[in-house]
Structure 1
Amino acid sequence: MTTRLLWFVVGFLFSVPVDLDAQGVAIIEIENVQLARSLAAVLHDPAGFPMASVLVEELSSDWKESLRSTKTDATGAFTFAPVKGRDIYYFQLTLKGFNPLRLRVKLDRKRGKELQLQMEFST
C-alpha cells in the first residue's frame, strides 16, 4: 500500500501538461525516465480503480510513430516484451475522457520498480 501511494505521489509531482487543445485534453508527460523491472504496469483512474481497455502504444523517440500497441486487461495491467538493444521505451496511454499519459521507461532489473500508473480525467 505504501509503495502504491509513493508511486501515485511521484507520478503526480512529476507530471507536467505538455499540450492543450481546444477540447480540454492535455497530454501529461512524466518528466523523469522511470526505472522498471519489466515493461509491465498497472493503470488506475483517479479513484484508484483499475482501468481496462486503455490503448497502450510504444512510440518512436519523437513520439510520432506507433511501433506496437496493446490494451490493458480487466485488472488495468499491460505488458510488452523487451526489444534487444533498446535502451529507452516511449509509451503513450490513451482512453476517451482521460488525458493521454506519456512516459519513458528504462529496464533496470536491480533498481527498477513495478510500475503503478494513474490517468487523469480530461476537462
Structure 2
Amino acid sequence: MFALSVAAVRVDALKVSAPTTRTQKRASVVVRAEADAAADEYSALKPTSVKDFKDMSNEAIIEEVVKCKKMLFQLRMRQSTRKEYKPHHFGILKTKVAQLYTVKREREIAEGVNMRDSRELKRKDRVANIYL
C-alpha cells in the first residue's frame, strides 16, 4: 500500500551536544512513507492551452471536465483534512475546466445554439453527473 523511496526518507538534524551522560549522544531519524497513488495522480498536472483541446470530441471534453472536477473535489478534501497538497494544482485544474468549457461553447456557437439552450443542456448534464 505504501512505498518507501529514497526521496521519502529524511534524516533530521543530528543531536549532538557535550555529553554529560552516556545516553545524551544519539541520532534522530524520521522515516516517512508516502502514498504513490496520490502522488502519481497529481504529478502529471501541467498548465494547458486551449489548443490542446480543439481536436477532442464533445464526449471526451465532458469526460475530461468530470475528471478535473473530481480531482478538484479530492484536492478540497485533502485541504480540509490537512493532508499534503500543492495549492497551485487548484489553479491548474480550474483553468483547465474553463478552457474545456470555452472549447465546448465555441462549438455550440458554430452550430448555432443560443445561450438559453446551452444552459439547458448544461443543466441536463449536471443532473446526470454529480461532478458537473
TM-score, scaled relative to structure 2? 0.22
Instruction: Give the structure with the higher percent strand.
Output: 1
Query: Which structure features the higher share of helix residues?
Result: 2
The alignment's TM-score, normalised by the length of structure 1, stands at 0.23
Which has more radius of gyration? 2
Higher RCO (CA-CA < 8 Å; seq separation 6+): 1
